[in-house]
Amino acid sequence: MILAILSGFVLAGCTPFISKFIKGKGSLLLPILPFGLFVYFFSFLKEIGEGQTFRFNYDWVPSYGINFGFHLDGLAILFALLITGVGTLVFTYTTSYLKGHHYLDRFYGYLSMFMASMLGLVLSDNIITLFIFWELTSISSFFLIGFNNDDPKSRKSALLALSITGLGGLFLLAGMVLLGYIGGSYQFQELLSQSTFIKEHTSYGWIVGLIFIGAFTKSAQFPFHFWLPGAMKAPTPVSTYLHSATMVKAGIYLLARFTPLLGGSAEWNTTLILVGSITMVYAAIHSVLRIDMKGILAYSTISALGILVFLIGLGTEASLLAAGVFILVHALYKATLFLITGIVDHETGTRDVTVLSGLSKVLMPVAIAAGLAALSNAGAPPFFGFIGKDLIYEATLAYGDWAMVLTIAAVVTNVCLLFAGLLAGVKPFVGSLPSNFTSLHLPHPTMWIPPLILAGLGLVFGLFPSLVEGLIVQPVFSSMVIDGAPVHIKLWHGFNLVLGLSLLTLTLGVILYMIVKPSSSLFSKTLKFEMIAPQTLFEIFGKFFNAFARFWTGLFQNGYLRNYVITILGFLTILLAYRLYQGVNLYIDTKQLTALTIYEVIVALMMIVAIVFTVFSRSRLVAVASLGVMGYTICLIFLFYSAPDLAMTQFSIDTLTVILFVLVIYNLPKYKNFSSKAVRIRDGILSVFFGSLIAILTLEVLSEPLNRETSIFYAESAYLLAKGKNVVNVILVDFRGFDTMVEITVLVIAAIGVFSLLKLRLKSIEKE
């Protein structure tokens, strides 16, 4: 299992080495990976249909309870099949779509990385690894959206998508950690048994809120929806993959997954219904006003995601069933429409629906796929979309007092979506063919077969719902609803209100399509509201954030060493002073003190003289030399108290420090005052304060009872365990050898820093 998930990362890691191969014929071999994974997951389908689930556990950080726990149940397998299935088709499609592209190898690298992250996300049982894969999808989608990296708009969209989803990711992490802390486990299946306890906990609201922000940002819910239309700057295969079946569905997956654990409360349901319904209506209306095929599809995707959030929010068995089916319905028709948009764009060079028409005469198979997808989207019988739409209406109609309002919202949304589907799937293919398109010819089969397969499945599943009922829909339903009644989906429900609503939707949608002609004037009307759009607000926030960061950095990181030292010392002084203010127990046990020896007196006197010289000398060289004397006297103290190793090291270090100082100071102008008197007094006061605080601290440490356990252990075991008699050295190279290893690495980094800073500056001066 872990191999299946990581294989995408492995392939991504290999792409730089086989780039020539990929750019040649080799790209045709790449779809084998997702297809292999698809077959692998497909082989589990039968057992899962019978109600089994699979667990796979691999230890990672067992001490923190973080492991690679994978859980394969209905919900996970639905997503895994979508990811690998649509992945196979997208991989195939790309071989022609981006044929000969300069960065084709990179593209496949990003794509397989994304696929692997998505698989990890839906299969993870541990909520921390789930979060890690969640972030990996954000990062890999950033690369995919910004794939056309020489286009500034594309880069901006990628950054916007990353910042929104990344922001949500942070909230999600907080939510997960809180959940794990309260539930006492990071394993989802273990948390599930704590469900009632978590729901009654005082922090429940926080957990739900944090997880919601994560899910809403990822799944482009209002008011975080605006990154998704921008992400359409990506090549079409990416849009297909990210926005039909995977990336944006991650939020939906999260909500569906957490429904049995956190769902069912008023906070959960009301928020989801509210956000979901606002999103679905708002985005559906927007999709009507667009003229770019991708723009239409983007907003209809947001709207569909709104529907899913809304259905999960309703939380009834009927609505969760509808959500499960709609995920599949939407993935099938939306992926088809995106792929078709790609073909149209690829062949004609435009995606403007006001220009495109009559393409069925030259792109027949594409037109068939588009028609099938548009019909499934429209919810026309006998397509799978019809079943999906019926289930949605059934769910809203059964929802108590609010049934009326919710149903109207659903109908409005569906009418607009139907219109959008017709606009993108039918409009470009009917009517008369403009003369400049007559010379078009059908692209390579690797491009038009994938949409045809997806659209065909939409029809097949509609005609024979039993194909998916037992194998997929039932397990998906059982992983969202524990102990639910067995589900049954069918095409024909008899004459009832639901059928009436379906027909009403169809009629209204077709009428709308007849009346409203897409035009750029309609679209320009929406631009007036740009001022108060969430995107504008977000950008203002971003600018403010940047300005603040610049101000803050300028304040603290101003490049003057003295300011850094003042900040550090001042902060420490305040912190320590506050601690000491709270009460300090100072006393010196005079009985324990040994008599003063003559050496100690002499050394102390030397120190005082050295300090006075350092501070008051007018010559810098004298100051540095007296600082050296100061260091040597400390060496003497170490020697008296039997620490020869320390003394030796201190002696060499002090020698080198003096040399370094002399080297630097030698080049400064002599007898020039760089600081005013006021500054010197301020620095003096600060140093006196800091010095006395350290002295008090030292005394306080002395008055604490001493724990000698560690030093006794080292002293006793140095020879026995490490065959050394010099304890200090044994600690350095053996007991704490790892620390030393890291320390010398830090030293090397520091040296490289000094070297590159000085040498680079020299080079830039030489250039001038």
Partner 1 sequence: MKTLIFKTASTYLLPLLVLFSVFILLRGHYLPGGGFVGGLIASIAFVIHSFANGLEQTKNLIKFHPGFLMPVGLCIALISGAAPLFIEQSFMTGLWFENPIPVIGMVGSALFFDAGVYLVVIGVTLTIIFTISETL
Torsion angle, CA of 550/556/561/566, rounded to 10 degrees?
170
- Number of Cβ within a 10 Å radius of residue 269: 17
* Whether the Cβ atoms of residue 396 and residue 474 lie closer than 8 Å to each other: no
| CB atoms near residue 434 (< 10 Å) | 13
Smallest distance, partner 1 to C-beta of residue 663, A: 5
Residue in 329, 179, 312, 332 with CA at minimum distance from that of residue 253: 312
In the chain, the amino acid numbered 722 is A
**Cβ proximity to partner 1, 439 vs 667, nearer residue:** 667
Residue 614: CB minimum distance to partner 1, A: 22
- Rounded to the nearest whole angstrom, what is the least distance from the CB of residue 746 to partner 1 in the complex? 10
Q: Which of 530, 115, 64 is nearest to 289 (CA)?
A: 530
> What is the per-residue DSSP string for 249-284?
HHHHHHHHHHHHHHTTSHHHHHHHHHHHHHHHHHHH
Q: Which is nearer to partner 1, 430 or 643 (CB)?
A: 643
Cβ closest to partner 1, residue 640 vs residue 755: 755
Q: SS3 for 69? A: strand
Query: Nearest Cα to 635, choosing from 607, 658, 595, 663?
Result: 607
In the DSSP assignment, the letter for residue 619 is S
Smallest distance, Å, CB 623 to partner 1? 18
Look up tokens 């992490």; give the residue. 173
| Closer to partner 1 by Cβ: residue 642 or 676 | 642
Nearest to residue 419, comparing CAs of 358, 320, 508?
Answer: 508
Q: Which of 63/667 has CB closer to partner 1?
A: 667
Helix axes 204-218, 249-262, angle to 10 degrees: 160
| CA nearest neighbour of 34 among 125, 108, 141 | 108
Tell me how far apart the 2 most distant CA atoms of the chain are, in Å. Answer: 111
Whole-number minimum distance, CB 657 to partner 1, in Å? 11
Q: How far apart are CA 217 and CA 240, in angstroms?
A: 19
Which residue, 515 or 668, is less far from partner 1 as judged by CB?
668
* Nearer of residues 436 and 729 to partner 1, judged by Cβ: 729
Of the pair 364, 664, the CB lying nearest partner 1 is at 664
Tell me whether residue 432 or residue 667 sits nearer to partner 1 (CB atom).
667
Are the C-beta atoms of residues 28 and 95 closer than 8 Å to each other?
yes
Which CB atom, from 307 or from 731, has the smaller least distance to partner 1?
Answer: 731
- Smallest gap, in angstroms, from Cβ of residue 615 to partner 1? 25
Shortest spacing between CB 730 and partner 1, in angstroms: 7
CB 612 within 8 A of CB 728: no
- Name which of 484 and 737 has its Cβ closer to partner 1: 737
**Cβ proximity to partner 1, 537 vs 752, nearer residue:** 752
DSSP 162-230: HHHHHHHHHHHHHHHHHHHHHHT-SBHHHHHTTHHHHHHSTTHHHHHHHHHHHHHHHTT-TTSTTHHHH
ω before 223 within 30° of 0 (cis)? Answer: yes
Cβ 679 to partner 1, closest distance in Å? 25
Binding-site ranges for partner 1 (CB under 8 A): 644-645, 648-649, 652-653, 655-656, 659-660, 663-664, 666-667, 721-726, 728-730, 732-734, 737-738, 740-741, 744-745, 747-748, 750-752, 754-755, 758-759, 761-762
Specify whether the backbone of 422 is left (phi greater than 0), alpha (psi in -120 to 50) or beta: alpha
* Residue 130: CA count within 13 A, CB half-sphere: 28
Q: Which of 14, 20, 24 is nearest to 100 (CA)?
A: 24
CB of 731 to partner 1, least distance (A): 10
Question: Could you tell me if 69 and 115 are in contact, meaning their C-beta atoms sit under 8 angstroms apart?
Answer: no
Q: For the chain, percent helix, then strand, then coil, each to nearest 5?
A: 80, 5, 20
CB of 711 to partner 1, least distance (A): 17
- Closest approach of Cβ 763 to partner 1, in Å? 11
Shortest distance (Å) from residue 16 CB to partner 1 = 25
* Residue closer to partner 1 (CB basis): 149 or 655: 655
Provide, rounded to whole angstroms, the least separation between the CB of residue 312 and partner 1. Answer: 48
Minimum CB distance to partner 1, residue 597 (Å)? 22
Q: Which residue has the tokens 């810098």?
A: 620
Q: Of 575 and 752, which CB lies nearer to partner 1 in the complex structure?
A: 752
Q: Which of 228, 231, 236, 229 is nearest to 89 (CA)?
A: 236
DSSP state letter for 81: H
